[in-house]
Amino acid sequence: MYLAYNAEMRFDFTVGEVVPDGAIVTVGGQEKQATLIKGRDDKLTLSVPLSAIEVSKEVSATLTYGGEEIGYAVTGTAAGYIGGQVADETDGAIVKALYAYAKSAELYSSSYTKLYAVKDKSTLEEGVTITGGANIGTGKPNAEQKFCVGNLDTGKGRTIEYSIISDGEKQNVALYAEFGELQNANNFADWCDLKVNNEPITVKAKMPYGENYVASNEQTFLGYITLKDGVNEIKFTVNSSDKLTGHNFYGILLGATGITANAEDYSAESLFYVSLQNSTTKADYVTWKNGTGATFEIKERKNTAGYNPIFNVNGNNGGTITFKVKADKACKVVLYAEFCSKTNPAAFSAWCYVTVNGTKYTSDTAMPTNAATWQPSNTFINLMKIDLTGGEDEITFVISNPTNGYNLYGIKLAHASSVSVDGVAA
């Protein structure tokens, strides 16, 4: 049968947080030209011309903004048109096939969970932790008067981590984030890495361009992720120290419901210095094994709290320093450590990693910097979250660089107020 006209497929839908300006459409696996028509009340129509032989083929559309996917996916058709008239079942067999698609249209990711990072100028939201010098309350608020996590520009190793709870496994969840603008045409991957439950996520998104450090008030689509039932970790790590790369961070938006912040409690702290106060005597919960090229020892260079560090960490490749602790119940804790400063600091991962009862942990947190090398930093830096068993645990720092290292003063464990953590004589 010959048709003297082409059919037209249309999707009619309402969008939420992100308004698209285009679409990528395939018909039978082949990409097609599409036209997006904006109507009233946030109604949008996506028009795709179809030849007569295409109307019964599978159709899919992914909406875009600025040429980048934004996470909406549509299948089927919302209405079939021929010659400008709404198709119905009287228009023949081919139109019947098109009309059947019209009944199956579905818009995914139409419901959202938005989780900002900062509650006010001095407080993070529940389930959010930052490390390595990232700070809060800086930059201008966005349109909803929410402040950002800042100090990410030139902040290699700094991290923002979300702990969230999903009420069941959720696949293909669209993940967005709201950033500030920079006068630099950055891609996300130019300055940041993303991991979900410790699995790297490849992100091709372009960053908001405009006035430096001003809120973009836009949601940037980062990709689709899978959330497991229960607790999930979403971690952003700055991977660049280049100027005008790290964008201020306001929060995330997930294309699903049934997601809440994990209200972790890290309000209590336990300190474990390597020496006794005002002494060069080693604390009994600390042991070490020398590597190659140096010999560990505690020497006089007190911090403001009156504790001396382990010297000769620099270049002690393969050496280990172990803290033996015991928590009265199994728990997750945040591990901090106090080191000396250097004039040209590296990331922690450039010279060391941590094991807890043999399980390896890494961190790209930036090391302390100061005008005077080897002087106490008097600062505990946030390295990572670790798990304690509720029995005796060994937290070991493993030196992995033959030419680099930092004198170590001690560690701090931040944990729930209901948990007690003590040192155990080795």
Q: What is the pLDDT of residues 264-288, one digit of tens each?
A: 888 899 999 999 999 999 999 999 9
Whole-Å CA distances, 109 to 221, 261, 334: 12, 19, 34
pLDDT value of residue 77: 36
CATH hierarchy code of domain 7-107: 2.60.40
∠ Cα 115 143 111 (to 5°): 40
Residues 6+ apart with CB under 8 A from 156: 238, 239, 240, 241, 347, 364, 366
∠ Cα 72 85 2 (to 5°): 100
Answer yes or no: are the C-beta atoms of 52 and 7 closer than 8 Å. Answer: yes
Which segments of 139-267 are extended strands (E)?
148-150, 159-166, 170-179, 192-196, 199-201, 220-227, 230-238, 249-254, 259-261
Buried b / exposed e across 400-412, counting CB within 10 Å, b at 16+? bbbebbbbbbbbb
Determine how many CB atoms are found less than 10 A away from the CB of residue 158.
Answer: 27
Distance CA 346, CA 399 (A): 14
Q: What is the pTM of this model?
A: 0.63
Domain residue ranges of the chain, discontinuous segments joined by +: 7-107, 113-261, 268-423
Place of tokens 């060994």: 394
Answer yes or no: are the C-beta atoms of 306 and 283 closer than 8 Å. Answer: no
DSSP 381: E
pLDDT value of residue 154: 81
Q: Which helix (H) or strand (E) holds 96?
A: helix 93-102
pLDDT value of residue 7: 44
CATH hierarchy code of domain 268-423: 2.60.120.260
Distance CA 53, CA 188 (A): 41
Query: Options 3.30.460.10, 3.40.50.720, 3.30.930.10, 2.60.120.260; which CATH number does 113-261 get?
Result: 2.60.120.260
Amino acid at position 96, single letter: K
Amino acid at position 86, single letter: V
The total number of residues written for the chain in this structure: 426
- 220: exposed, middle or buried (Cβ count in 10 Å: 0-12, 13-18, 19+): buried
Answer yes or no: are the C-beta atoms of 75 and 106 closer than 8 Å. Answer: yes
Q: Which helix (H) or strand (E) holds 50?
A: strand 43-50
Please check whether the two domains, 7-107 and 113-261, share a CATH topology. Answer: no
With a cut of 50, list the residues of the chain below it in pLDDT: 1-9, 11, 14, 52-53, 55-56, 73-110
